[in-house]
Amino acid sequence: MAGMTPDERLSMLLSCYLDGELTKDELAEVVDVLEHDVAAIAEFRRLKEARNALRTLPTPRMPMYLLPAGHLGSELSAYLDGELATGELPRISGHLDVCAECRDELADLDRSRTAVRSLPGLEPPDFLALARDAREARTRARWPAVAAAVTGLAAVAIAFTVGIGIGDRGTVAVDVAELEARHGAVVSGTSVTGIRTSSP
Amino acid sequence: MTRSRVRVLAAVAAATTLVASAAPALADEVVDVVERVNASTYAANRLVVSVWGDETQVVRERVEHASGQEMVRTDETWSMKGGGRVVTMSDAPSGIAFMMTPTAIDTGRYEVGETTQVTHMRRDCTLIPILEDGQVRAHMIVDDRTGAPLITYIYDGDGSVFRTVSLSDFSPYRMYEWPDAYEDVPVEIVMHDEAKIVPTEAAGYELVEVFPGPGGSEQGFYSDGLFSFSLFAFKGDASVAGFEDPMAFVTESGIYDIVPTAKDVRVTWADGHRRYVLVGDLPPDHLGDVLAELPQQDSAGMFVRWWRRLFG
């Protein structure tokens, strides 16, 4: 900010303040000025109102010859499918903000996809349906035999398990840390005299 | 004032400066020592080091001991023990409490040797040897004022040091670091049960209590007054997690899978009908004697362990 007059410097600082671009020292300086300098407060309000006015202006449609080279094309499809990399999104969104042609193309693409999704399901041709029915009929005919085989195997497995289980066999899963905690608890409650020094 | 305190204070008064010897004590003085240690009040950092074969196990923890209760805090978790109840605070807080019947434990296996007045950490202490069959099984340096065991040495059957427990950053009072939330943790209550599987005695350790264990098992609690273990007997071949990388423990009765920690040892085996898990703080020679008198492992399991030992 060398070479600026004090007023120009203040105006620049306030502008940077609105943009959140001040350093820690500059921020302290601006806060101090805004607390004591009426002229600085007035300048700050003027800058703020000017920015608000700029934001409410209608967005001008940029002439095609001023657009960056090329349109989004196939990237619009990826954009709709949510398949773009996060780093790509700002570029695509920025282009859509200024390019009415791409916005229109995006809207068309979205409408066509919606239309495809709303189409009724297609039935297969008759000759394919006949083949499918025949295949299902064969499967149904085999099912009783398969079911009987599975049932037989299950019966054998159950008999085997029960047979092995006679006696004291069984399977449980425990963690030795739990057993150690139980032992520690019992130890804490024992006394060589049989008299407990504390109660749970 | 308890009888043990009277005895210790009398011993302190009779002591000159650093060294004073007393006549060999009676066996029931072991009871006094153990009870005094249990009733002590202190806060400290505790370091436990145990040696099992070539492996050394170490644990450091913050401990606060008062009124028979003990809070133990490590980097990962903390637990509150006392009166048969343990509450553990971790990702999944849990609590368990055992309803126990008052049972005096026979300490006749041990006796207190000649005590010596010593100074440790600039505190007046008593060095207490605990003898088993005339040989030193443990040395304890007990703080005269609080009864806290500042250092404990446990010896294996061959006289080598098997475990040391030492306190540092010692404060002779409570620090009140016990968290408040532990009172809200739901606690599983376990009632006393009758012994159906576990034996009533094993190598000088008597069966003190029996409880129903997890997975339909039976938990037998054994003690000889100084050391203790629990034997869990499961029906069938239970799957017990925590033995994925065991050590081989060779005894006259066989080779067992063990997992030693700084404070405990865990052993598991099966006898063809049941799976057994032993958890306790007993020294290696006692463990070997105990395993020899408990149900023996089946020959198939024995073969597998021999094979592992021979061929890795």
Query: Residue A164 pLDDT > 50, yes or no?
Result: no
A130-139, B112-121, B138-147 — which is least confidently predicted?
A130-139
Which residue in B35, B230, B235 is closest to A168 by CB distance? B235
| Predicted pLDDT of residue B229 | 96
| Cβ atoms A172, B216 nearer than 8 A | yes
Closest residue on chain B to A169 (Cα): B236
Alpha carbon distance B62, B149 (integer Å): 15
| Predicted pLDDT of residue B67 | 80
**CA–CA distances in Å: residue B249 to residues A134, B201, B301:** 68, 22, 14
Residues in chain A: 200
Q: For chain B, what is the mean pLDDT?
A: 84
Task: Determine the average pLDDT of the residues in B19-44.
Answer: 70
pLDDT bucket at A126, cuts 50 / 70 / 90? low
| Predicted pLDDT of residue B103 | 78
| Cβ atoms B295, B274 nearer than 8 A | yes
Query: Residue B228 pLDDT > 90, yes or no?
Result: yes
B47-51, B97-101, B118-122, B177-181 — which is least confidently predicted?
B177-181
Which value, in Å, is the radius of gyration of the alpha carbons in chain A?
40
| Predicted pLDDT of residue B5 | 34
Nearest to B45 by CA among B12, B15, B75: B75
Pairing of strands B149-155, B135-143: antiparallel
Query: Residue B3 pLDDT > 70, yes or no?
Result: no
CA distance B298 to chain A (A): 15
Query: Residue B50 pLDDT > 50, yes or no?
Result: yes
Nearest to B227 by CA among B286, B269, B277: B286
| Predicted pLDDT of residue A148 | 56
A93-107, A164-178, B199-213 — which is least confidently predicted?
A164-178
Which chain B residues are within 8 Å of A200, Cβ to Cβ?
82-85, 97, 187
Task: Determine the average pLDDT of the residues in B224-244.
Answer: 91
Cβ separation B239–A182 shorter than 8 A: no
Task: Determine the average pLDDT of the residues in A2-20.
Answer: 82
> pLDDT higher for B236 or B112?
B112
Which chain B residues are within 8 Å of A193, Cβ to Cβ?
31, 35, 104
Note the pLDDT tens digit of each residue in B160-173. Answer: 999 999 999 999 98
Task: Determine the average pLDDT of the residues in A120-143.
Answer: 54
Which chain A residues are within 8 Å of B232, Cβ to Cβ?
179
Kind and range of the H or E run holding B147: none
A13-22, A76-85, A134-143 — which is least confidently predicted?
A134-143
pLDDT bucket at A104, cuts 50 / 70 / 90? confident
Alpha carbon distance A135, B142 (integer Å): 87
Query: Residue A132 pLDDT > 80, yes or no?
Result: no
- Interface check for A162 against chain B (CB to CB < 8 A): the answer is no
Q: For chain A, what is the mean pLDDT?
A: 69
Q: Residue B174: how many CB atoms within 10 A of its CB? A: 15
Cβ separation B235–A170 shorter than 8 A: yes
For residue A181, give the amino acid letter.
A
> pLDDT higher for B181 or B60?
B60
pLDDT bucket at A143, cuts 50 / 70 / 90? low
CA distance B28 to chain A (A): 10
**CA–CA distances in Å: residue B24 to residues B27, B30, B113, B114:** 9, 12, 5, 5
| Predicted pLDDT of residue B13 | 32
CA distance B159 to chain A (A): 25
| Predicted pLDDT of residue B106 | 81
| Predicted pLDDT of residue B68 | 83
| Cβ atoms B238, A172 nearer than 8 A | yes
| Predicted pLDDT of residue A134 | 58
CA distance B154 to chain A (A): 18
Range with top average pLDDT, A161-165, B182-186, B279-283: B279-283
A145-159, B75-89, B257-271 — which is least confidently predicted?
A145-159
CA distance A156 to chain B (A): 22
Cβ separation A196–B100 shorter than 8 A: yes
Cβ separation B217–A170 shorter than 8 A: no
Cβ separation A192–B84 shorter than 8 A: no
Task: Determine the average pLDDT of the residues in B68-91.
Answer: 87
Query: Residue B206 pLDDT > 90, yes or no?
Result: yes
Cβ separation B232–A196 shorter than 8 A: no
For residue B31, give the amino acid letter.
V
Cβ separation B235–A200 shorter than 8 A: no
Cβ separation B230–A171 shorter than 8 A: no
Kindly list the structural domains of chain B, giving each domain's residue range(s) and its CATH number in brackets, ordered by start: 2-183 (2.50.20.10), 193-311 (3.30.200.100)
Cβ separation B242–A176 shorter than 8 A: yes
Share of chain B above pLDDT 70, in %: 86
> pLDDT higher for B262 or A194?
B262
Per DSSP, the three-state class of B280 is: strand
pLDDT bucket at B175, cuts 50 / 70 / 90? confident
